[in-house]
Amino acid sequence: MSPTQTQYDVAIIGAGVCGSALTYVLSQYTNIERIVLLEKCSDAAQVNSRVYNNSQTLHFGDIETNYTLQKAEKVNRAASLVKQYLLKYDAQQIIHSRYHKMVLAVGAEQVHTLQQRYHEFKTLFPALWPIDRAEIDMVEPNILKGRDPKIPVSALFTEEGYAVDYQKLARSFLDQVQQQQAQQQTQQDNEVGDRTVDMRFDTRVQKLEKVGDRYRIFTDQRDQTDQQVISAKTVVVAAGAYSLLFAKSLGYGHDYALLCVAGSFYRAQSALNGKVYTMQSKKLPFAAIHGDPEVHDPTITRFGPTAKVLPLLERYRLSTLGDYFKTAGLSLAAVLSFAAILLDFTVFSYICRNFLYDLPFIGKRLFIKEARRIVPSITLAQLEYAKGYGGLRPQIVNMKKRGLDMGEAKLLGDRIIFNITPSPGASTCLQTAEDDTERLITFLGGGYRFDKARFLADLGSPAVVVSS
């Protein structure tokens, strides 16, 4: 047995949409020869990237009123990479569907705020335009049916809405890697030499250790060469909420804990034709409820996600309870940070209400008020709890600031990267992969190259190429 058989240049832990996107970018656009992807499930994207576990939205920042202009600029660039990938490789719309989308303002105050927002954002999003009551009625009649005609409404509208099956997107990335491997075997591709990309499913990483200039990765599986321990020069941990636990095990991320927010959904038949977002409440850190047609079935509208705080690292997996407490820590700093976040009256009452939404009988009766903000005439009989849907957003608690850091987080260590990916982590998967690829090339040193020009020529929209 050769000692190099379990030695890699890069090990990626987690084959969600982010780990899969990175495997794709490394194998297509770098000359890194030995890559391993380690995943505890039997296939890619079975946790938050699973099709039923998220809102299936490609977030650009145009209708997300919880984003600042600065955040929208970043997310727009990132989402454009995914959009270009879909346009290039998913012309048949197996992975995604196109729907129109809008953000709806109800009442004079919201209408005014949305108008101001339009002026601030219109240069960044030229395809977004304001529409009035009559135009709303034409595209989404159910928004106005049963609504008080005296209350002013307006919306920002665009045809550029994408619903994405991130589970299929992850699979597509890995299929491309496999195709490239197969081609390489037949063509003896000189540029990449003897590239190996091992994808190991049903392989749980149990422990990471740094020994000298390599990482030792302990798994629960023996491979064909009877090796349980894998050695890698560099590591990217793309394990969702588990990334923070791994970071802490190596002495990183001590200032962080996680507030894990489960999101459930309700469903209704043909309530909307496209995506309808509502205005964000400034007092709440969680995104407002929206209505979205299912990616593969436009006749089903999903309302959600709710925001239920749970002490778990993965939804519906009670076995992750112990790990949650290890991640959060029971330090005074952690307790004070959670108290500072949750004891705000608006946040606390919102969280309590969100707990109730999952309960049988009463949940639907409470949630319908949220759904009626979008479709006022929706009835209890039309609304159905989407059982088994919804993942868990690992929101980052910054224990130094005693508050939430919204969005994704990246912790950098010695030749190791940890990605923690609440929403919009799926929309930004290729951007995260691009950033990580650049870092990995630096970690690995001379002789390694990232063909960023080709990456952007393939996936960058013209605006992206210019701004890079």
Site membership for ligand FAD, residue 421 (CB under 6 A): yes
Site membership for ligand FAD, residue 236 (CB under 6 A): no
Interaction pattern, residues 115-154, with ligand FAD; x per rule: CB under 6 A: ----------------------------------------
- We find the least distance from the C-beta atom of residue 177 to ligand FAD, in angstroms, to be 15
Q: Which of 427, 431, 441, 443 binds ligand FAD (CB under 6 A)?
A: 427
Site membership for ligand FAD, residue 354 (CB under 6 A): no
Distance between CA atoms of residues 312 and 240, nearest Å? 12
| Start-to-end C-alpha separation, the chain | 45
Distance between CA atoms of residues 251 and 246, nearest Å? 9
Is residue 11 within 8 A of residue 229, CB to CB? The reply is no
- We find the least distance from the C-beta atom of residue 150 to ligand FAD, in angstroms, to be 34
Q: Which of 6, 23, 56, 395 binds ligand FAD (CB under 6 A)?
A: 56
Please give the structure tokens belonging to residue 267. Answer: 């469903």
Is residue 154 within 8 A of residue 105, CB to CB? The reply is yes
Site membership for ligand FAD, residue 65 (CB under 6 A): no
Interaction pattern, residues 191-210, with ligand FAD; x per rule: CB under 6 A: -------------xx-----
- We find the least distance from the C-beta atom of residue 447 to ligand FAD, in angstroms, to be 29
Name the H helices within 41-97: 69-89
Distance between CA atoms of residues 75 and 78, nearest Å? 5
Site membership for ligand FAD, residue 393 (CB under 6 A): yes
- Of 97-105, 106-114, 148-156, 415-423, the segment contacting ligand FAD by CB under 6 A is 415-423
- Of 11-19, 83-91, 149-157, 324-332, the segment contacting ligand FAD by CB under 6 A is 11-19
Distance between CA atoms of residues 376 and 146, nearest Å? 6
Nearer to ligand FAD by C-beta: 271 or 429? 429
Q: Nearest CA to 130 among 165, 158, 166, 107?
A: 158
Site membership for ligand FAD, residue 404 (CB under 6 A): no
Nearer to ligand FAD by C-beta: 114 or 287? 287
Plot region of 36 (φ>0 → left; ψ -120 to 50 → alpha; else → beta) = beta
Site membership for ligand FAD, residue 425 (CB under 6 A): yes
- Of 24-32, 33-41, 98-106, 451-459, the segment contacting ligand FAD by CB under 6 A is 33-41
- We find the least distance from the C-beta atom of residue 135 to ligand FAD, in angstroms, to be 25
- Of 140-148, 237-245, 270-278, 371-379, the segment contacting ligand FAD by CB under 6 A is 237-245
Is residue 373 within 8 A of residue 277, CB to CB? The reply is no
Site membership for ligand FAD, residue 434 (CB under 6 A): no
Q: Which of 130, 253, 390, 407 binds ligand FAD (CB under 6 A)?
A: 390
Q: Please, what's the b/e burial string for 345-359 (b: 16 or more CB within 10 A of its CB; e: otherwise)?
A: eebeebbebbeebee
- Of 112-120, 235-243, 277-285, 450-458, the segment contacting ligand FAD by CB under 6 A is 235-243
Site membership for ligand FAD, residue 19 (CB under 6 A): yes
Q: What is the DSSP letter of 62?
A: S
Q: Which of 6, 48, 158, 278 binds ligand FAD (CB under 6 A)?
A: 48
- We find the least distance from the C-beta atom of residue 393 to ligand FAD, in angstroms, to be 4
Looking from the CA of 127 toward its CB, the CA atoms found within 13 Å total: 12
DSSP string, 453-467: HHHHHHH--HHHHHH
Q: Nearest CA to 304 among 393, 186, 244?
A: 393
Nearer to ligand FAD by C-beta: 380 or 412? 412
Distance between CA atoms of residues 81 and 390, nearest Å? 25
The helix or strand, by DSSP H or E, that contains position 409, with its residue range, turns out to be strand 409-412
385 burial via Cβ count (<10 Å: 0-12, 13-18, 19+): middle
Site membership for ligand FAD, residue 274 (CB under 6 A): no
Residues that bind ligand FAD (CB under 6 A): 13-19, 38-41, 45-49, 53-57, 59, 166, 204-205, 238-240, 242, 263, 305, 390-393, 419, 421-427
